[in-house]
Amino acid sequence: MTKESSEKKFRSNRERVQHFLKLFEKKDRVLVLFWADPDALASAYAIKKILQNRVSKITLSHVNEIRRLNNIVMVEILKIPITSFNPNLLVDYTKFILVDSQPSHRDDFKDISFTAVIDHHPQTSGWKASYVDIRPNYGSTSTILYEYLKALKLKPNVYLATALIYGIKTDTDNFRKSAQLQDVLAFQALFKRMNKHLLNKIESSDLRRSELKYFKIALSNLKYRGNRAFTYLGRVSNPDVLVLVADFLNKVYETAWVFVGGEYKKNLILIVRCDGYRKDAGKLVGNLFKNMGKAGGHREKARAEIPFEKIQIDPEEFNTTSLIKLFKKYLKVKAEKTQSETGPPL
């Protein structure tokens, strides 16, 4: 990112939003891009509310396949108008916005000249945009977009309010992690306008019956090394099931770290969880795997996607012991450098 794009200061959210709006004209056709999860979906939905009467066209487009049941239900019952991304879309639009992510996070974003980037993840480098609003101290991007709506005196309808509430809840883990006062204030204001029955329908739709088998596999393959839990599920039909397994294991009292792996489309998917106290899952996977694939996240949770060819192990031979060895191999190199950030080596 250029120095100029990251150091623009604003005295208030209203001043910030007015600067954002000046980037768009009535003739513009705007494409909002994101990796679909609850926070990103809600944030993109809010952008549509803000810009829908200020530009000629605005489209919300997700670069990933939406397979997690909660997200599918969220889109359906909150009537979020989205479309799958393909590169051919780019020629039809004049301005591009990225929410809940940064151009360096995914290959899909790297060659796009973004007008605006709005995110709450730790700031990365190597890219630029006309407008940058990155607040890693915020628990969710939904909170940032709520502040935009508030500054513009735009009242979200029940669908948008419920979406933003769910986005805040998921990314702060129901305020157990990464929550700030701004997230609490946004939740409090939106709570008056959301629908608890719609929210309950989304939150209770975690698993398909066909996915229950993965919990059995995870428990059968589970190995502990001290207070660190490792399990490898093999090939999965949906990588989001790895997240559900990791979150489940993270609730076990004696567990400080959780490492869950699985194979999806010839990639090794790694999900890491910890309590964030003197630990940093995002820095851990970033330090270990940033040169092997996609890796990053927050203090309490992180994700990596690594082509199996990079680790030179046949997917059919990979197992929980391989997962443990993978982390041991790289932690031996990084142990002294990262110990204060991530805890002692395995």
Domain presence at residue 72? yes
Judgement on whether residues 124 and 252 belong to the same structural domain of the protein: no
Q: Is residue 45 part of a domain?
A: yes
Per the CB < 8 A criterion, the answer to whether 134 and 127 are in contact is no
Taking the CA atoms of residue 291, residue 293, residue 296 and residue 300 in that order, the dihedral angle to the nearest 10 degrees is -110
Residue 90 shares a structural domain with residue 195 = yes
Rounded CA gap, 133 and 321, in Å?
42
Do 114 and 220 fall into the same domain?
no
pLDDT tens track for 191-225? 999 999 999 999 998 888 889 999 999 999 999 99
85 and 172 in a common domain: yes
Q: Do both 153 and 234 map to the same domain?
A: no
**Domain ends where: 162, 184, 203?**
203
Does any domain span residue 34? yes
> Are 231 and 155 in a shared domain?
no
Is 243 found in the same domain as 198? no
Same domain assignment for residues 198 and 239: no
**DSSP assignments along 110-174, one per residue:** HT---SEEEE-SPP--S---SEEEE-TTSS-HHHHHHHHHHHTTPPP-HHHHHHHHHHHHHHTTT
Domain count, the chain: 2
CATH number, domain with residue 99: 3.90.1640.10
Domain assignment present for residue 194? The answer is yes
Residue 287, pLDDT score: 85
Instruction: Identify whether residues 100 and 191 lie together within a single domain.
Output: yes
**pTM, entire model:** 0.73
CATH number at residue 245: 3.10.310.40
Parts of the chain with a pLDDT under 50: 1-7, 333-342, 344-346
3-state SS assignment for residue 295:
strand
191 and 318 together in one domain: no
Tell whether 333 and 239 lie within a shared domain.
Answer: yes
Cβ pair 143, 182 in contact under 8 A: yes
Bridge partners, 262 (sequence order): 269
Assigned domain for 327 exists: yes
- Answer whether 230's CB lies under 8 Å from 224's CB: yes
Task: State the DSSP code for 271.
Answer: E
21: domain range? 3-203
127 and 8 in a common domain: yes
Kindly state whether residue 208 falls inside one of the protein's structural domains: no
Using the 3D structure, point to which of 179, 203, 227 is the last residue of a domain: 203
Question: Do 120 and 136 form a contact (C-beta atoms < 8 A)?
Answer: yes
